Amino acid sequence: MKKKAFVALVSAMICTVSVFGMTGCKGSNSNEVEFFSSKSENAQIMKKLVDQFNKEHAKEGVKVVLNTPADAGTVLKTRLTKNDIPDIIAYGGDQTYTELESAGVLKDLSQESYMNSVSDQYMQMVYDVQKDREKTAYAVPYATNASGVIYNVDKFKELGLKIPKTWDEFEEVIRRIEDAGGQPFEYAFKDDWTLLPPWNSMAPDLAPETFYDERLAGKTTFESTHKEIADKYLELLKHGQKDIMGTGYDDANKAFANGDAYMLINGNWAISEIKKNNPDIHLDMFALPASNDESKNYVTSGVDVLLCASAKTKHPKIVKEFLEFMMKPENNQKYIDDQFAFSPINGVEQKDETVASAQKDIEKGKVANFPDHYYPSGYDLASILSEYAMNYSTGMKDEENTKEFLKNLDTQYDAVNNK
Amino acid sequence: MKAKHWKVNPVYYIGVGIMAILFFTFHTVPFLKGVFYSFTDWKGFGDWNFVGLKNYGVVFSNKDILSAYFFTFKFALVSTILVNIVSLFLACGLSANVRFKSFLRGVYFLPYMLGMLIVGFVFNFIFGNLIPELGRAVKSDALSTNILGSSHAFWAIVFVTIWAGCAFDTLIYMAGLQAIDKEIYEAAALDGAIGWKRFIRVTFPLLAPSFTINMVLSVKSYLMVYDQIMAMTGGGPGKSTTSIAVMIYKQGLGHGQFAVQTANAVVLFIVVVVISVFQLRVLEKREEKVG
């Protein structure tokens, strides 16, 4: 009999534990405002800003809590499936934002005081990724990034190299580095997203301006317009280290920080990672000159972080105050300085020398958005590029490889564009 | 006593009932929902419409999905065979009278205690950093590149799967070996069956039940391979190591193809069920013959 009682007790315990376990997962504190941030790189500075805000608003009894999960895009989309939308969201200006915005869950921020101080160019980029390019501010750009060529200033000086302004000059730089026995680029293609920055830096310079809309409507193809980009992409692959497919992002940054290579094609977000490995390294960044027409060589710059808010939040007042706090120029400056990022707020400037050359172009407005922000969200460009690079490294003939790659770009595009 | 009114003590019903409810709410319901959404154009959130069998049409016509199936079948076949061969050898070795038997058994069981993801990350480091360093030290070109970034990434993943997967299979085979009566071996020895012959004619047939379990479980888990691939290659280089499960996750949740990949998941489920049932049928018949 005792044994039976014991079994009953255990089952009862399991039952209660599982019930409490379930409620425990879900129960969010009603005095907390969730600030969902997609980037792990900026978690520290975001935490500082949040703490400062909480200190200043201690009286109100409501706390902003920062949440930066790994693989944030997936987490956010999964939460959208449950209609569980964070109060405040910091996200990139990409297709996930499009999906978020088109679900109709975001608050209209048009009337907020800080809207006047935001650069039109970056505001336009937010509109561009909204559904039907709707011109309503459901989000405000907070920080912008730039993709281009990060170079080792000291090593460039050693060879007396200057920043190339055209494709021919760029090739000349590569040639001179190789003549001196150096390695021009360090690639990190084991992490397939690193294949995107070179593409993103070249495509806006060389693709026809109306390409995105026409491709979406099926009026043009990659095959007929992107041959030059594909050729130049392949050309750049030929000047990396030996194991371009087997090196990961962290290892490549380490190798570059140690002076193994002269250049790294990536974005300003990589700078802090490189500096972690070698704090004394002198870096600068320039726009990848894909065209021989200097006026077309844009800095690829997009909205790296935008802020938006749930329309259904329980604490609209705190959310409003928090966004106003974040958008103050002095707070934005703190973020920009910490992240080597650029600011969409007029008057806030990135003064760090590591991105000086890119900042100059951005100030002049010589900026193009990331092309992959305009591709359909199912389009896995990174893995198509990865196949291209893989075929190159296994020795496929260039001509055949490029042909297959261009065709692949179109078939994959059509596969995800069948709405 | 209460037992007079109940044929079976109610405690068992409570225990089974709780499990049944939990299983139904957290497994069966989401599964049925998934099947339902595979007939819609749901993005994972927001509005949706019925689209009939369109998603299934995409699954069977998309080149990438088909190549993921090809990769997965190849992987499951190769891994199942190799894992079972290696496990069988290990089990025989560890059941023989070798020195440090219990210690060695512990060592070979260790990988099972580690999560597959951890194993994947450890080998990611070994393949990416340790082996290339060794390769440079001995000036070998083949060794100094990361195998996970090459066209041989498949074999690296198979290797890691064998390393981690053998533990469980070996355990099952060892249990099977212990269940074989010693007298049978004596009788076999009198009839002249020793060494290799004894293994083929006596031991292996008597291991039939263990063999069935291992075959079915291995095929099932390798058809759904996910952890080690995410940890080591993320499906790359290109799409060369993208298994079905990896594709469902990456495309379905990361690239907004929720409905299509849900249909894909349903197809995968059917494939796994059909193969498992087929295997059970065939292998159980074999067991009957042996028995």
Domain extents in chain B = 63-290
**pLDDT tens digit sequence for B96-135:** 888 888 898 888 898 888 889 999 999 999 999 999 999 9
Beta strand segments in A233-298, E:
263-267, 283-286
CA distance B200 to A37: 61
Query: What is the H or E stretch that residue A90 is in?
Result: strand A88-91
Does position A408 have pLDDT exceeding 50, yes or no?
yes
Nearest to A148 by CA among A129, A165, A125, A128: A165
How far lies B106's CA from each of A31, B56, B85, B100, B112, in Å? 51, 46, 20, 10, 10
From chain B, the residues in CB contact with A389 under 8 A are 237
CB atoms within 10 A of CB B114: 13
From chain B, the residues in CB contact with A73 under 8 A are 254
From chain B, the residues in CB contact with A8 under 8 A are 11, 14
From chain B, the residues in CB contact with A189 under 8 A are 149, 237
CB atoms within 10 A of CB A342: 25
Contact A82, A102 (CB under 8 A): no
**pLDDT tens digit sequence for B244-287:** 999 999 888 777 788 899 999 999 999 999 999 999 999 888 88
State residue A23's pLDDT score.
Answer: 41
Average pLDDT, stretch B240-245? 94
CA distance B68 to B63: 9
User: How many CB pairs below 8 A link A and B?
Assistant: 118
Contact of B22 with chain A, judged by CB distance below 8 Å, is answered with yes
Does position A25 have pLDDT exceeding 50, yes or no?
no
Q: Are strands A299-309 and A140-152 parallel, antiparallel or unpaired?
A: antiparallel
| B149–A246 C-beta distance less than 8 A | yes
From chain A, the residues in CB contact with B44 under 8 A are 77-78, 80-81
Q: What is the CATH number of domain A30-145+302-351?
A: 3.40.190.10
Does position A152 have pLDDT exceeding 70, yes or no?
yes
Does position A103 have pLDDT exceeding 90, yes or no?
no
CA distance A48 to B102: 54
Contact of A75 with chain B, judged by CB distance below 8 Å, is answered with no
Instruction: Compute the nearest-CA separation of A103 from chain B (Å).
Output: 6
**pLDDT tens digit sequence for B41-73:** 887 766 788 998 999 998 998 888 999 999 999
Q: Within its chain, how far is the Cα of A227 from the centroid?
A: 25
Contact of B236 with chain A, judged by CB distance below 8 Å, is answered with yes
pLDDT level of residue A22 (50, 70, 90 thresholds): very low
**CB within 8 Å of A240: residues ≥ 6 apart:** A183, A184, A185, A186, A187, A261
From chain A, the residues in CB contact with B147 under 8 A are 246
Instruction: Compute the nearest-CA separation of A247 from chain B (Å).
Output: 7
Contact of B25 with chain A, judged by CB distance below 8 Å, is answered with no
Contact B49, B40 (CB under 8 A): yes
Nearest to B101 by CA among B170, B183, B195: B170
SS3 (DSSP) at B267: helix
* % pLDDT > 70, chain B: 97
CA distance A45 to B177: 60
* Half-sphere exposure at residue A30, Cβ-oriented, CA atoms within 13 angstroms: 1
ipTM, interface predicted TM-score of the complex: 0.81
CA distance A328 to A331: 5
Using CA atoms of B279, B282, B288, B289 in order, give the dihedral in degrees to the nearest 10.
Answer: -140
How far lies B248's CA from each of A72, B33, B263, in Å? 17, 16, 9
Please, what is the angle between helix B153-178 and helix B116-125, to 10°? 130
**pLDDT tens digit sequence for A29-45:** 678 999 999 988 889 99
Instruction: Compute the nearest-CA separation of B16 from chain A (Å).
Output: 10
| A416–B255 C-beta distance less than 8 A | yes
Please report the sign of the dihedral spanned by the C-alpha atoms of residue B114, residue B115, residue B117, residue B120: positive
Instruction: Compute the nearest-CA separation of B116 from chain A (Å).
Output: 19
**Topology at the third CATH level for domain A146-301+371-416:** D-Maltodextrin-Binding Protein; domain 2 (3.40.190)
Q: Which of residues 352-381 of A touch B (CB under 8 A)?
A: 377-380
State residue A7's pLDDT score.
Answer: 53
Q: Which of residues 121-180 of A touch B (CB under 8 A)?
A: none
B237: nearest CB among A102, A245, A415: A245
From chain A, the residues in CB contact with B253 under 8 A are 74, 77-78
Does position B290 have pLDDT exceeding 80, yes or no?
no
Show the 3-state SS of A284-350: EEECCCCCCCHHHCCEEEEEEEEEEEECCCCCHHHHHHHHHHHHCHHHHHHHHHHHCCECCECCCCC
Q: Which of residues 178-207 of A touch B (CB under 8 A)?
A: 189-192
Closest-CA residue of chain A to B41: A419
CA distance B219 to B275: 8
| A245–B146 C-beta distance less than 8 A | yes
Closest-CA residue of chain A to B48: A103
As beta bridge partners, residue A35 has A66, A88
Range(s) of chain A covered by CATH 3.40.190.10: 30-145+302-351, 146-301+371-416
A246: nearest CB among B145, B235, B256: B145
| A190–B22 C-beta distance less than 8 A | no
Identify whether B237 is preceded by a cis peptide bond (ω within 30 of 0). Answer: yes
Does position A1 have pLDDT exceeding 50, yes or no?
no
Q: Which candidate in B150, B255, B258 is best for mutational testing of the A interface (most A CBs within 10 A)?
A: B255
The residue that leads in pLDDT, A148 or A353, is: A148
Contact B147, B130 (CB under 8 A): no
Does position A328 have pLDDT exceeding 60, yes or no?
yes
From chain A, the residues in CB contact with B256 under 8 A are 77, 95, 99, 377-378
SS3 (DSSP) at A147: strand
Contact A32, A63 (CB under 8 A): yes
Residue appearing with tokens 């355990």: B171
pLDDT level of residue B80 (50, 70, 90 thresholds): very high
**CB within 8 Å of B4: residues ≥ 6 apart:** none
| B151–A390 C-beta distance less than 8 A | yes
pLDDT level of residue B38 (50, 70, 90 thresholds): very high
CA distance A291 to A229: 10
End-to-end alpha-carbon separation of chain A, Å? 65
Average pLDDT, stretch B18-32? 94
For the ranges A128-142, B188-202, B244-258, the maximum mean pLDDT occurs at A128-142
Give the CATH class of B63-290.
mainly alpha
Q: Which of residues 127-186 of B touch A (CB under 8 A)?
A: 128-129, 132, 144-151
Does position A9 have pLDDT exceeding 70, yes or no?
no
| B150–A246 C-beta distance less than 8 A | yes
Of A1-5, A201-205, B36-40, the range with the lowest mean pLDDT is: A1-5
A386: nearest CB among B144, B236, B257: B236
**pLDDT tens digit sequence for B6-22:** 788 889 999 999 999 99
| A245–B255 C-beta distance less than 8 A | no
State residue B274's pLDDT score.
Answer: 95
**pLDDT tens digit sequence for A206-259:** 999 889 889 988 899 999 999 999 999 999 999 999 899 999 999 999 999 999
Look over chain B and give the mean of its residue pLDDT values, rounded to a whole number. 89
Instruction: Compute the nearest-CA separation of A384 from chain B (Å).
Output: 6
Tokens of B74: 């190849």
Average pLDDT, stretch A72-88? 85
State residue A292's pLDDT score.
Answer: 94
CA distance B187 to B184: 5
pLDDT level of residue B198 (50, 70, 90 thresholds): confident
CA distance A389 to A234: 8
**CB within 8 Å of A135: residues ≥ 6 apart:** A127
Contact of A99 with chain B, judged by CB distance below 8 Å, is answered with yes
Identify the burial level of B49 via C-beta atoms within 10 angstroms of its C-beta, where 0-12 means exposed, 13-18 middle and 19 or more buried: exposed
CA distance A405 to A411: 10
**pLDDT tens digit sequence for A155-213:** 999 999 999 999 999 999 999 999 999 999 999 999 989 999 999 999 999 999 889 88
Closest-CA residue of chain A to B231: A191
From chain A, the residues in CB contact with B43 under 8 A are 99
CB atoms within 10 A of CB B133: 11
State residue A8's pLDDT score.
Answer: 55
State residue A5's pLDDT score.
Answer: 55
Look up residue A211 and give its amino acid: F
